[in-house]
A = this chain, B = another copy of it.
Amino acid sequence: MPRSTPSSAEQTVADIGEFGLIANIIRGLSRTPAVSVGPGDDSAVYLINGSAVTSTDILIEGVHFRRDWSSATEIGRKSVAVNAADIEAMGATPVAVVMSLGVPGDLPVRWVKDFAAGFRAEADTAGLALVGGDTSSARDITISVTVIGETGALEPVLRTGATPGEVVAVCGRLGWAAAGLTALGRGFRSPRAAVDSQRVPVVPYGEGRRAALGGATAMIDISDGLLADLNHVAQASGVWIDVETAAFEIPEPVAAVASAVGKDPLDFVLTGGEDHALAACFPMGELPSGWVGIGTVREADESGPMVTVDGRPHEGASGWEHFRRG
């Protein structure tokens, strides 16, 4: 075989400079009809129907992701997905996204190209146009994403609207990402479906909007874990939410990891974070297809707003919090 010439895989960000970095990010960018000014002017310009809906997240290497656990493409996709899920959770439609990227100078250009490809692919799937961004040098790879959506003719679906007598339903995966993280943490790369879910959440795009059209009264993105996030709804709405464990089918990859580590698979389903499924409350009656009823909304009793499992308090970990010691 002929010896290969130095490939672009060996080029670093320092070699191509800031403008080269930007060129790699915006190359092949698709534009939607809403966008009148994309990257390149002082600001981007795009149309918003109804009210604007905005969410932002920051992802930092070593805190939110590891390069040896996730490919650049996966990290690019995930950085879009976690934000787009927040727009879905308002019953809104994703429109535009801006992204800032801080990287060390010795980062291979190949990593940036793959990251940008993943970012663009997930943005396309979510219906988002990348309209602008910023770049910087940084010791740790740092990704900041802001997504802007629109409500159209509907009111946004907040966390405050849950009313006693309603059904609590979910759409999307529960426990997959946590099971995948457990597998990765023990050095396994399988079950593949769970590990993939940890690397890139499978956001049920369009289902937030469908829930809003279907009469959802309250909705939330499940990022911290089902019980922790339902508790946000319970507190905001001043209600008692009871989850019925009989309503859940345990997904096979979750069951496999639970069995391997000797854990109750329901723990993954009820408390596992990072799946970015949606939970919503609906008036009693028909649920939108794809949504599964998993509980009920009740009047808060003297204990105040809370979440119970089969009528009883759940003993378990709460959501993830940065900074806390031990």
Contacts and interface: CB of A to CB of B under 8 A. Distances in A.
Interface string A83-118: 000110110100010111110010000000000000
A144 interface: yes
A90 B41 CA distance: 9
Nearest to A325: B14
B53 A43 contact: yes
B100 A144 contact: yes
B17 A321 contact: yes
A122 interface: no
Contacts of A137: 60, 63, 322-323
A15 to B, nearest CB: 8
Interface string A116-141: 00000000000000011111111110
Nearest to A44: B54
Contacts of A144: 56, 58, 100, 142, 144, 146
Contacts of A102: 58, 60, 63, 142
Interface in A302-326: 321-325
Interface string A140-155: 1010101011010000
Contacts of A292: none
A42 B86 contact: yes
A87 B14 CA distance: 30
A213 interface: no
A186 interface: no
Instruction: Give the size range of A's interface with the partner.
Output: 35 or more
A100 B131 contact: no
A299 interface: no
Contacts of A196: none
Interface in A271-297: none
Given A54-B148, A56-B134, 19 more contacts: A13-B323, A14-B323, A37-B156, A40-B236, A41-B90, A41-B236, A42-B159, A42-B221, A43-B55, A43-B149, A45-B53, A45-B90, A56-B100, A58-B100, A58-B102, A63-B102, A137-B322, A137-B323, A144-B144
Contacts of A219: 42
Contacts of A17: 321-324
Contacts of A248: none
Nearest to A54: B44
A133 to B, nearest CB: 6
A45 B51 contact: yes
A18 B44 CA distance: 32
A63 B56 CA distance: 22
A48 interface: yes
A22 to B, nearest CB: 10
Contact of A58 (B37, B59, B134, B220): B134
A56 B136 contact: no
